[in-house]
Amino acid sequence: MRMSIRFTLILLLILTSPWPLLAEVQDETALDIQVREIAKTLRCTVCQTENIWESGAPLAQQMRGVVRERLKLGHSPEDIQEYFLSRYGDYIMMEPPKHGVNWLIWVGPFILLLGGGLLLYKEVNGWVRGTPSPPAAAPPPLDEQARQRLERELES
Amino acid sequence: MIIEIGHFSVIIALVLSVFGMASSALALKTRNPDWARSGRMALTLIFSLLSIGMLSLVYSFIVRDFSVLYVANNSNSKLPFFYTVSAVWGGHEGSLLLWVFILSVFSTLAVWLHWRTQPTIMPYLIAVECAIIFGFLCLIVFLSSPFERLLPVPLDGKDLNPLLQDPAMVMHPPMLYMGYVGFSIPFSFAMAALFSGRLGEEWIKVTQRWTTFAWMCLTTGILLGGYWAYYELGWGGYWGWDPVENASFMPWLVGTAYLHSVLVQEKRKMFKVWNLFLIIVTFSLSLIGTFLVRSGVLTSVHSFATDPERGLYILIFVGSVIGIAFGALILRSNKLKSQVEMDSLISRESIFLFNNLFFLVAAATVFLGTLYPLILETLQGAKVTVGPPYYNAVFMPIALGLLFLMGIGPYIPWRKASVASLKKSFSIPLLAGAVMVVVLAITGIRNLYALAGTYVVAFSGMAIVLDFGKVSQLYAQRNSSNIFKGCLSAFTANQRRYAAMLTHIGVLVLVIGIIASTIYQTEKVVSMQVGDEFTIADYRIKLTELHEVEGGNWKAEEGVFQVFDGATLLTELRPQKRIYNATKTPTTESAIYAINMGHIFLTMPEVSPEGVAVARGVINPLILWVWGGGIIMGLGVILNILRPRKKDE
Amino acid sequence: MTKGWQLTLVLILLGLFALFYQGLWGDPRHIPTVLIGTDAPMVEGPDVETGDMISLEQFKGKVVLLNFWASWCYECKVEHESVLQLHQLFKDDPNFVMLGVNYQDKLPDAQQYLKEYGTTFPHMRDLHGQIAIDYGVYGVPETFVIDQEGKIRYKYVGPVTGHMYTTITQNIIAPLLKDQPINTKS
């Protein structure tokens, strides 16, 4: 009787003790990875240009929670982004959504580059055409004075 | 008492800056050089007085005089000494004083150094410098004084923002300001040239080393900022396209364009108006950057506390300087109609022009992105965020183009390149690029941007190495020595060129680091308890202990993580979650292990009271190439500035 | 440089400075709302004081003023008196309901706050931030006015005091209760 009580007590002690019997290998789930990917596209509204994955703000944490919940319910990443867009407007995306006047900054740089390149090309060609090409002819014949002086120098 | 001495000195400096402008005007009117000398003396006195001002502030910080408002707001009795000194430029008012102090140092130096060789334009130079100093001092004395008292005196200060208590952060503002202010010297010379009408190549030659020095300081300042962000913010990133980061990047882009464009003016005496335009834009962007950071117009991690009244003054000041500068340029440009002689589109002159195009489009892109939220809000009342995904997408092609041009420019002849010379210089580099791409693709790298970047980097790198190799060989043959002595001879005989090529190599190294650490970064976030482990890339990370630690002015929860490669223990990493005592601000301290020139970057964003830690591991491949590249760039510039003077300089 | 380029330069500079000037008076952190005219999300949460479940559904067909606050928020304290006064003004109208939403707060802190500053209307707790996110809230205090059809008609970010108090009471709530059109331009 005493043996079994002792045994039970030891067993209880082992099972309730704070140190883990088995160290676990932790890993991210596919859901974790998806949450991260979507969170990186959403802006933290109370931070300065941070996305909700980077931010430590409570609102960012709650928004990540909402993303996770919705993913669990089967929503697609686009649905989730749509949801946030409907609540906060375009500001909530980390980059300007490509519609309407926002196309201006998406294509702006390339227009500037191509347009600038063309203008530059035209300008440089204009300069090239306007530049007289160096004379390829033989040097001009010496005049009488120079020729005599040269002969005198060569003789001395 | 000391702080009042400082305050008084700054006020006298303000008065003297007006005198400096007046005496310069008189020097021009009466043609009496004594007035110019008075102006020089005034500038020198301004430098001395601002030194006193700075010293009085430093002193007040060191003795922890909390009766000074600025000291109370930015330090604390427990703040370590090192950071107590750097706290002087930790806030808006003190950093402005640092700005104008550095301006007075450089201005005085420039005036004394060039006094004998540039006598005619000196009055103009002094006047321009004093005008800029005047503008800043008015702001400091009337709207942003670090010299105000605080009564009743608090028992202790509020403490310096913990994020600023970091070595890189100490050097970042002074470096950055030396860059901005450094560009004010060629700017002032340019203004002097415009006002005086003496628009020869003089001012470019004289300011060439100033420009290179300023460029180095600005580059270093920006890289230090990135370095700080990487180590201190605990995110594993070094550039966020934050509005204030952009505010320093824009002058850098245009400054680099200017740095290259003046080479054409030196060699071919062309593009005078263009170079004047570029330096004015560069300095204007530095000033606009100052405005953006301190006015509250944009939201940013960095913005100082703001105030529309102060913002309005800065806007008026900056607007006046820029308006007058461009006005002078427009008016004088009519006198500068030069016939541009270009022999061919395929020439070094042409490549430099395309270099400028790309740099300016880059700067315009950053400018547009930074201001677009403001523009949209003003016009439509809607709000958008222009964040890193936008900039990364849009900037990449421009950067690739620039890197490609970098491999062409130095190796294409002036005036006109024949097809033969093109083949000789570029066939191998073009091939080398292709080879590298194939090699990397075979090893599994398939990302389009990584491959494009590799092509361009390999192309440019090969061009640089090939050219240097050929020339070194020539020197070796001529001196009948080995190739290493040949390299040395080649380098010292053309130090300016090859130091610059070294800087270009630094850029390539930096770019490789950026490509690897951005595209191939891996991240994992897990919740774990003591005894648990997780794997990231090929490494196993195990949490062995959680305990509390204390520092001078902070307390923290620290996790001890062991990092394994297979069965080998590589290191122990101790990331912390800190709380600073005075302000109760939490910070995440990262723990980093360098391996294979990259980093294993570990942070512990959260620890629950029950002992559950959230661990975040990031692998940043080749991140050390980013900092290494920066160092190589700096080395190149130093070797450039320290080159022996040649006869025609 | 040609006259054309000179003109372009001057225009760009003028435009830039006009933009900067405009920007000085704005608030870069303010987010304009996209919810005006949309259906108000039917949210629910436990009452701060009693623990009973309150649901917005209960108040369908009435004009609802929804006020987000937190015990740690300074500006909420500033507007508290005003908000209570507002409730007094309309509490006798059977078509008017006032609801508070306690945002990102700890229950004991919230209860202590209400005890200390007093309240005359119920408050629901936003347990996981879902209510706030549904309403596009990013800070406190924020106040919404929902009409009898359940549509969000007005939103204000900031304390409802002084001029804003007058606007909300006279130009928004009063007309809505009388089924009249509202004027959102204050």
| Residue C186 confidence (pLDDT) | 44
Q: The dihedral of CA B83, B85, B87, B90: what is its sign?
A: negative
Contact residues on chain C for A60, CB-CB shorter than 8 A = none
pLDDT band with cut points at 50, 70 and 90 for residue B471: very high
Report phi then psi at C63, rounded to 5: -85, 125
Share of chain B above pLDDT 90, in %: 65
The mean of the pLDDT values for chain A is 83
| Residue A142 confidence (pLDDT) | 63
Is residue B643 over pLDDT 70?
Answer: yes
- Distance (Å, whole) CA B304 – CA A103: 32
Is residue A19 over pLDDT 60?
Answer: no
* Closest alpha carbon to B289 in B331, B241, B254, B245: B245
| Residue A140 confidence (pLDDT) | 60
Q: Do C28 and B315 touch (CB under 8 A)?
A: no
Residue partners of C121: CB distance under 8 A and separation at least 6 = C87, C91, C97, C98, C99, C100
Q: Is residue A40 part of a domain?
A: yes
Chains that touch A (3 or more CB pairs under 8 A): B, C
Most confident of B217-221, B312-316, B643-647: B217-221
Report phi then psi at B229, rounded to 5: -55, -40
Chains that touch B (3 or more CB pairs under 8 A): A, C
pLDDT band with cut points at 50, 70 and 90 for residue B156: confident
Say if residues C63 and C146 touch (Cβ distance below 8 Å). Answer: yes
ipTM, two decimals: 0.86
Q: Which domain holds residue A119?
A: 98-125
| Residue A17 confidence (pLDDT) | 54
What is the CA angle C176-C178-C180, rounded to 5? 65
The model's pLDDT over B356-404, given as tens digits with 9 standing for 90+, comes to: 999 999 999 999 999 998 888 888 888 899 999 999 999 999 999 999 9
Is residue B524 over pLDDT 70?
Answer: yes
Report yes or no: B240 at the A interface, CB cutoff 8 Å.
yes
pLDDT band with cut points at 50, 70 and 90 for residue B91: confident
Kindly state the helix (H) or strand (E) to which residue C53 belongs, with its residue range.
strand C53-55
Test the C interface: residue of B297, B337, B380 with most C CBs within 10 Å = B297
Q: Chain B residue closest to C15 (CA)?
A: B375
Give the number of residues written for chain C.
186
| Residue B234 confidence (pLDDT) | 81
Does the predicted TM-score (pTM) go above 0.80?
yes
Q: Mapped to the 3 state alphabet, what secondary structure does A12-65 carry? A: HHHHHCCCCCCCCEECCCHHHHHHHHHHCCEECCCCCCCECCCCCCHHHHHHHH
- Distance (Å, whole) CA B374 – CA C45: 37
Q: Do B296 and C10 touch (CB under 8 A)?
A: no
The model's pLDDT over B608-625, given as tens digits with 9 standing for 90+, comes to: 988 899 999 999 999 999
The model's pLDDT over B26-38, given as tens digits with 9 standing for 90+, comes to: 998 898 889 999 9
Q: Is residue A112 part of a domain?
A: yes
Residue partners of B121: CB distance under 8 A and separation at least 6 = B189, B192, B193, B196, B198, B203
Of A94, A97, A105, the CB nearest to B368: A105
Number of domains present in the structure of chain A: 2
Q: Do A59 and C33 touch (CB under 8 A)?
A: no
Report phi then psi at B570, rounded to 5: -85, -50
Say if residues A71 and A36 touch (Cβ distance below 8 Å). Answer: no
| Residue B583 confidence (pLDDT) | 81
Mean pLDDT for C12-31 is: 84
Of B277, B315, B375, the CB nearest to C21: B315
Domain ranges of chain C: 1-31, 32-177
Report yes or no: A65 at the C interface, CB cutoff 8 Å.
yes
The model's pLDDT over B416-459, given as tens digits with 9 standing for 90+, comes to: 888 888 988 899 999 999 999 999 999 988 899 999 999 999 99
Q: Is residue A118 part of a domain?
A: yes
What is the CA angle B372-B374-B376, rounded to 5? 65
Same domain assignment for residues A113 and A83? no
Among B190-204, C21-35, C48-62, the least confident range = C21-35
The mean of the pLDDT values for chain B is 90
Q: Is residue A139 part of a domain?
A: no
Say if residues B541 and B645 touch (Cβ distance below 8 Å). Answer: no
The SS3 assignment for B582 reads coil
| Residue A47 confidence (pLDDT) | 81
Among A89-103, B158-172, C59-73, the least confident range = B158-172
Q: Chain A residue closest to C104 (CA)?
A: A58
* Closest alpha carbon to A43 in A60, A31, A58: A60
Q: Is residue A144 part of a domain?
A: no
Of C13, C20, C29, the CB nearest to B326: C13
Same domain assignment for residues A90 and A115? no
> Residue B81: CA atoms inside 13 Å, Cβ hemisphere, count?
2
Bridge partners of B237, per DSSP, are none
For C179: left if phi > 0, alpha if psi spans -120 to 50, otherwise beta; the answer is left
Same domain assignment for residues A32 and A84? yes
Give the number of residues written for chain A.
156
Report yes or no: A37 at the B interface, CB cutoff 8 Å.
no
Q: Do A49 and B350 touch (CB under 8 A)?
A: no
Q: Is residue A46 part of a domain?
A: yes
Say if residues B401 and B357 touch (Cβ distance below 8 Å). Answer: no
Give the number of residues written for chain B.
649
pLDDT band with cut points at 50, 70 and 90 for residue C32: confident
Q: Do C132 and A62 touch (CB under 8 A)?
A: yes
The model's pLDDT over A138-154, given as tens digits with 9 standing for 90+, comes to: 566 666 666 766 666 66
C32-177 belongs to CATH 3.30.1380.20? no
Q: Do C20 and B377 touch (CB under 8 A)?
A: no
Higher-confidence residue: B103 or A26?
B103
| Residue B304 confidence (pLDDT) | 57
Test the C interface: residue of A62, A66, A72, A122 with most C CBs within 10 Å = A62
Report yes or no: C93 at the A interface, CB cutoff 8 Å.
no
Residue partners of C74: CB distance under 8 A and separation at least 6 = none
Same domain assignment for residues A83 and A117? no
List the 244-303 stretch of B: residues with Cβ below 8 A of A. 299-301, 303
| CATH code of the domain containing A41 | 1.10.8.640
| Joined tokens for residue B185 | 């010297």
Bridge partners of B598, per DSSP, are B595
Same domain assignment for residues A35 and A49? yes
Report yes or no: A100 at the B interface, CB cutoff 8 Å.
no
